[in-house]
Amino acid sequence: MEIKGQLAIVTGAGRGIGEAVGKRLAAMGATVLLAARDLTQLQRVQHEIQAAGGSAEAAQLDLQDEQSIANLAAAIENRHGRCDILVNNAAVGSSGKPLFEMSPAEWDQLMATNLRGPYLMIRALAPMMIAAKSGHIVNISSLAGHNPLPNGAAYSASKWGLNGLSYSVAEELRPHGIRVSVIAPGSVNTRFEGRGDRKDPNKKIQPDDVAHVVAMLVTQAPQSFVSEVLLRPTQKP
């Protein structure tokens, strides 16, 4: 399955996993719409993709703002009339504190980005996929969505929730020829885990490792799809 000429939307595309995914899909021939809050970072990634001969656009997006997502979807429909690939990657990390010390405002912000954001993106963009009777949605989850995470209960809950959302919406969209997959990586070598992270960065999963899995998922043969990939480092960092 080729993706040349397809439109791919990647959230959290200004750095880390999102940047790696955007560059990989662009190298495979897709036009990539890079979405995040930091327009400066997005434009850097966009220029690097273009310098390598790829096609990319940058769109400032606030996942916590329903209207921002609606505006993006309208712009995509008006400019491209299609949405072939959606990678819901943007997320905020663990607070590093016990749940009973976490404020409701912190809880709401985390859930708004990690769980409500993907819901709003799917709600806004799935209709274009349904009209085309094809498409692939990839949600970037975490092994924390399968395992306990002390001092990260809210983050873990958001990823458990994202997994449940993904499995269920996959059943809703299968009749329309749309495939929904989840990638659940372990520790990834990004700035995501914060300053207190003492794990060996060379032993961690690299952003390109996640991008490789995204590339595999969106080029599957049409008669099947991989529901979930658990991605672990070869050596524990």
Question: In the chain, where are the structural domains located?
Answer: 7-231
pLDDT at 32 over 80: yes
Separation CA 73–CA 163 (nearest Å): 23
pLDDT tens across 161-215, in order? 999 999 999 999 999 999 999 999 998 877 654 445 567 777 789 999 999 999 9
Task: Name beta bridge partners: 142.
Answer: none
Separation CA 60–CA 38 (nearest Å): 7
pLDDT tens across 107-130, in order? 999 999 999 999 999 999 999 999
**CB of 114 closer than 8 Å to CB of 94:** no
Task: Name beta bridge partners: 136.
Answer: 85, 179
pLDDT at 142 over 80: yes
pLDDT tens across 65-116, in order? 999 999 999 999 999 999 999 999 999 988 789 999 999 999 999 999 999 9
Contacts of 225 (CB under 8 A, 6+ apart): 136, 179, 180, 181, 217
For the domain spanning 7-231, the CATH number is 3.40.50.720
Of 6-10, 156-160, 204-208, 232-236, the poorest mean pLDDT is in: 232-236
Active site residues: 155
**pTM of the entire structure?**
0.94
**CB of 165 closer than 8 Å to CB of 140:** no
